[in-house]
Amino acid sequence: MRILFFLFVSAAALQAQTAELETYIEVRHGTLPIVLTVPHGGSLKPANVLARRYGVTGTDSNTIPLAEMIIEELESRYGARPHAIISRLSRTRLDPNRDLEEAAQGDPTAVAAWHRFHDSAQKACDTVMKKSGLGLLLDIHGHRHLEQRVELGYLVKADILKHSDAELNADTALIASTCIRDLDKRSPQTFAELLRGPQSLGGLLEFRGFRSLPSPTRPSPGFMAGYFSGVYDVAAHGSRSGGTVSAIQLECPWNNVRDTPENQRRFAVALADSLGIYFEVHFGRKLK
Ligand SMILES: [Zn+2]
């Protein structure tokens, strides 16, 4: 009898912990070959989760409503939703875009939330590979750099972006170390064109009114300009270490992208339109 009671209490505790984690890390299933991860938009600061003691803790404001509009605009164009993994925890409690140690700093709930974030992202990528053969993960962020451009991160550092197109295209070790390694093999365009040609994601967004980096107008960051080239999420889930889901870190500026619901919507429309073309040009298939 006592054992039964103990089992009952343990099961109830487990259920409560699962429900708690589902609140902290929201997982939405989709059928498009696209995965959205949103690691820094959350605001929850549960009393039972310790505050992180080091590392960056700033919120990427409005990236959750922005991601929700991107989901809606993709669905309205392509008739299906992307997968989405959204951290609702404040970055003062968890930073999913870091390795486990820096991300959770030993707090058991934050550790469990980190695992749920990355297990879910990997499961979504596996589903995409199984159903569609290939796909794209977009890791959605917000930056506060002075220059208000959309920054696209491929795990190519700012000083490497200063190299010529010919140098980039010849650097096979560099290409193999990026999160678009598989995409580069599939695309009929060169690696440099994938990064900053007219039909790169930056090029397609610029054509729709959103200044981007890298892009045809800004192939590499200007002198002293900030630029985020990608961190943990795109490295862990992109095609650098295998697989056919490539990843891009999408760093959105505040002005004209994240600042108002109207601008969020305009950007979501531009991104959804761009992704349709991107899939046709580089993956050789329609997005649906
Ligand atoms: Zn961020």
Specify the CATH number for the domain of residue 51: 3.40.630.40
Paired strand residues for 255: none
Q: What percent of the chain has pLDDT over 70?
A: 97
Interval between CA 17 and ligand 1 midpoint (Å): 26
288 within a domain of the structure (yes/no): no
Q: Identify whether the C-beta of residue 121 lies closer than 8 Å to the C-beta of residue 35.
A: yes
Q: For position 68, what pLDDT does the model report?
A: 98
**Structure confidence at residue 222 as a pLDDT band (50, 70, 90):** confident
Give the pLDDT mean for 100-128.
Answer: 98
Interval between CA 253 and ligand 1 midpoint (Å): 11
244 pLDDT more than 80: yes
**Structure confidence at residue 10 as a pLDDT band (50, 70, 90):** confident
Give first-to-last CA distance, the chain, whole Å: 55
Interval between CA 41 and ligand 1 midpoint (Å): 8
126 within a domain of the structure (yes/no): yes
Beta-carbon contacts of residue 81 (< 8 Å; ≥ 6 apart): 28, 30, 31, 32, 71, 74, 75
Interval between CA 60 and ligand 1 midpoint (Å): 5
Tens of pLDDT, residues 142-167:
999 999 999 999 999 999 999 999 99
Interval between CA 59 and ligand 1 midpoint (Å): 7
Taking all residues of the chain, what is their mean pLDDT, rounded to a whole number?
96
**Structure confidence at residue 64 as a pLDDT band (50, 70, 90):** very high
236 pLDDT more than 70: yes
| Nearest 10 degrees: Cα torsion 220, 242, 37, 158 | -20
Separation CA 168–CA 170 (nearest Å)? 5
Give the pLDDT mean for 18-36.
Answer: 96
Domain range holding 38? 26-283
Give the pLDDT mean for 84-109.
Answer: 98
Query: How many domains does the chain divide into?
Result: 1
